[in-house]
Structure 1
Amino acid sequence: MNFSWMAWTWPTALFFTIIALLLIGMTVWEWRAPGGNPRVGILRFETTRGDRLFISLLGSAFINLAWLGLIGPQLWWSLALSVAYAIVVFRFV
């Protein structure tokens, strides 16, 4: 297959690799400790580990898009903000 038409860069490849590793890690975590103990956090509805991963990935996408649109292509600070956001989501949601 020839993927030369795609704009594959190292950051793009790293992004998709991290997403794949997160999904594999969550699968292993669920296999080792099934259930994940659903809990009610600050959003006032029951969430599981998978729900919190989805919320953190979705929020991180919006953080990075907003950063890109408002500040520019230097995304290292938005990455740090996204990691902090994910930690808060897993801790309090």
Structure 2
Amino acid sequence: MAKPNKKGPTKTVDVFCVGCKTQLFKYRKGGKGALVKCFKERISKDYTQQPCICPNCQGVFARDTLVRGAPAYKIIGGKVTMK
């Protein structure tokens, strides 16, 4: 399996919790589709204290997993939004 591009995209998006509108992280996203997974190496600024848990409302928004051999967060549908 191919690993994600090391350099990564330059466009960043802000990822927010849907429940309380708290910013979770800044992510270098490629493409224009929905946010399904976040590779950890592409997160430029992380605002969470615990992985996959919102710091404000304590809601779980993702699962820690491996995607194509690289560590990533698999986003739970409807739990986050991006701008």
TM-score of the pair, normalised by structure 2: 0.27
TM-score of the pair, normalised by structure 1: 0.25
- Which structure would you say has the larger Rg? 1
Higher relative contact order (CA 8 A, sep 6+): 2
More helix by share: 1
